[in-house]
Structure 1
Amino acid sequence: MTITTTLPLEQRIAADPRNFRVLTGDRPTGPLHLGHYFGTLRNRVELQRRGVEMFVIVADYQVLTDRDVADRLVETVDGLLLDYLAAGLDPEHATVFAHSAVPALNQLLLPFLSLVSVPELQRNPTVKDEIAHSRQSSVSGLMFTYPVHQAADILFCKGNLVPVGQDQMPHVEVTRTVARRFNERYGPVFPVPEGLLSIAPVLAGTDGRKMSKSRGNAIALSATADETARLIRSATTDADRHITYDPERRPGVSGLVHLAALCLDRDPHEVAAEIGDAGAAALKRTVSEAVNEFLAPMRERRAAYAKDRGLVRDVLRRGNARANAIADQTLREVREAMGTVY
Structure 2
Amino acid sequence: MNDIVLTGDRPTGPLHLGHYFGSLANRVRLQERLTMYVIIADYQVITDRDEPGAIQANITELLLDYLAVGIDPGKATIFQHSAIPELNQLLLPFLSLVSMAELQRNPTVKDEIAHSSQSAVSGLMFTYPVHQAADILFCKGTLVPVGRDQLPHVEVTRLVARRFNERYGQVFPVPEAMMGAQPLLRGLDGGKMSKSRGNSIPLRATEDETAALIRRAVTDGDRRITFDEEARPGVATLLTLTGLCTDRAPEQIADEIGDGGAATLKRVTTEAVNEFLRPIRRRRAELDPAEARQVLRAGNDRARATAVGTLEEVRLAMGF
TM-score normalised by L of structure 2: 0.98
Counterpart of 1:321, as a letter, is D
Are residues 116 and 273 of structure 1, via their aligned partners in 2, closer, same or farther at CA, if it must alter by over 3 Å? same
Secondary structure, counterpart of 1:148 in structure 2: helix
Q: Residues 128-180 of structure 1: CA distance to partner in whole angstroms, max 9, x if unpaired?
A: 11110112331211111110000000000010001111111111110000000
1:288 alignment partner, SS class? helix
Q: Structure 1 residues 258 and 71, CA, compared in 2 at 3 Å: closer, same or farther? A: closer
Instruction: Please state how far the C-alpha of 1:302 moved relative to its aligned partner.
Output: 0.7
Q: 2:11 aligns with which of 21, 28, 42?
A: 28
**Residue 290 of structure 2 aligns with which residue?**
310
1:267 positional shift: 0.9
Map of 2:177 onto structure 1: 195
Is structure 2 residue 48 aligned with structure 1 residue 48? no
User: What's the secondary structure of 2:18's corresponding residue?
Assistant: helix
Deviation at 1:64, TM superposition (A): 1.8
What letter matches 1:324 in structure 2?
R
Given candidates 192, 197, 221, the residue that maps to 1:210 is 192
For residues 138 and 30 of structure 1, the distance between their equivalents in structure 2, rounded to whole angstroms, comes to: 22
Distance in 2 of aligned mates of 1:301 and 1:227: 18
Structure 2 portions without partners, runs of 5+: none
For residues 211-230 of structure 1, the aligned pairs below 5 Å read 211-230=193-212
**SS of equivalent to 1:85:** helix
Deviations 1:230-249 (CA, angstroms, capped at 9, x unpaired): 10011000011011110010
Question: How far has the Cα of 1:65 moved from its partner?
Answer: 3.4
Give the corresponding residue for 1:338. Answer: 318
> Which residue number corresponds to residue 39 of structure 2?
57
CA contact (8 A) 2:132 2:157 kept: yes
In structure 2, the residue matched to 1:280 is: 262
Amino acid at match of 2:292: V
Q: How does 1:131-170 map to 2 (within 5 A)?
A: 131-170=113-152
Alignment pair present for 1:323 and 2:288: no
1:70 Cα deviation from its structure 2 partner: 1.1
- Identify the range of structure 1 (110-119 vs 67-76) with the bigger mean alpha-carbon deviation: 67-76
Who is 1:180 aligned against? 162
Distance, in Å, in 2 between the alignment partners of 1:169 and 1:86 is: 27
| Count, aligned residues | 320
Contact 2:49 2:117 in 1 (8 A): no
* RMSD, aligned CA: 1.0
Q: Partners in 1 of 2:223 and 2:242 — Cα distance?
A: 18
| 3-state SS of paired residue (1:25) | strand
Shift of 1:184: 0.6
Moved runs in structure 1, 4+ residues, more than 6 A? none
Structure 1 runs not aligned, ≥5 long: 2-18
Q: Which amino acid aligns with 1:328?
A: V
What is the letter of the counterpart of residue 258 of structure 2? G
> Which of 83, 91, 96 matches 1:109?
91
Shift of 1:72: 1.3
Deviation of 1:251 (Å): 0.4
Whether the aligned pair in 2 keeps the contact of 1:166 and 1:197 (CA below 8 Å) is: yes
* Aligned AA (1:206): L
Q: CA–CA distance in 2 between the matches of 1:299 and 1:32?
A: 12
Per-residue deviation at 1:67?
4.2
Question: Counterparts in 2 of 1:196-275, with a 5 A limit?
Answer: 196-275=178-257
TM-score calculated relative to the size of structure 1: 0.92
Query: Does the aligned pair in 2 maintain the 1:29–1:69 contact within 8 Å?
Result: no
The residue type paired with residue 293 of structure 1 is E
Per the TM alignment, residue 214 of structure 1 is displaced from its structure 2 partner at its CA by 1.5
Equivalent-residue separation in structure 1 for 2:61 and 2:226 (angstroms): 36
